[in-house]
């Protein structure tokens, strides 16, 4: 896997959301590189925490906007964000408990797919050109 590259297809048209997504991709890449370079466990954890807390900040902003949409849309979208939170939580446990790199790669690969799918499907559909 290579680092995530920002593409124009990721744009929702909402400037704030788009710049947050760009930042999220940057932070993901830092995390990915730290795992690839097999740096210390503590260092990986610090990248993971940075990525995780920025993602949570971003989800809160999106969820505020999504409250204006029908409830089922809001709930489904929020569930996706919650799924992401579960994955990052599991990654943290994996690092703390086992410190294994092999399973970490699998999880990070999953996070990579989640970001791509979520932005290009859910976020673009629900937040496109939203003010």
Which residues are at the interface with Fe ion (CB under 5 A)? 62, 123
Select 79 or 98, whichever has its Cβ closest to Fe ion.
Answer: 79
d(CA 56, CA 41): 22
Tell the smallest beta-carbon distance from residue 98 to Fe ion (Å). Answer: 30
Biggest alpha carbon–alpha carbon distance for the chain: 45
d(CA 25, CA 70): 28
Select 76 or 90, whichever has its Cβ closest to Fe ion.
Answer: 76
d(CA 130, CA 19): 14
Select 39 or 61, whichever has its Cβ closest to Fe ion.
Answer: 61
Residue nearest to Fe ion (CB): 123
Tell the smallest beta-carbon distance from residue 109 to Fe ion (Å). Answer: 19
Tell the smallest beta-carbon distance from residue 32 to Fe ion (Å). Answer: 18
Select 105 or 114, whichever has its Cβ closest to Fe ion.
Answer: 114
Tell the smallest beta-carbon distance from residue 53 to Fe ion (Å). Answer: 15
How many CB atoms lie under 10 A from the CB of residue 96? 10
Pair of tokens at residue 127: 């937040």
Q: Could you tell me which of 109, 31, 19, 29 has the C-alpha nearest to residue 57?
A: 19
């Amino acid at each position: 896997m290579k680092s995530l590259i920002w593409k124009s297809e990721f744009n929702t048209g909402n400037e704030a959301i788009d710049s947050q997504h760009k930042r999220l991709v940057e932070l993901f890449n830092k995390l990915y590189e730290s795992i690839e370079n097999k740096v210390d466990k503590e260092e990986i954890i610090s990248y993971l925490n940075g990525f995780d807390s920025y993602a949570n900040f971003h989800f809160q902003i999106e969820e505020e906007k999504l409250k204006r949409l029908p409830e089922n849309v809001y709930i489904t979208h929020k569930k996706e964000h919650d799924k992401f939170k579960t994955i990052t939580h599991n990654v943290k446990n994996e690092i703390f408990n086992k410190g294994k790199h092999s399973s970490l790669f699998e999880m990070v690969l999953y996070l990579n797919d989640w970001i791509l799918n979520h932005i290009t499907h859910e976020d673009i559909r629900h937040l496109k050109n939203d003010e």
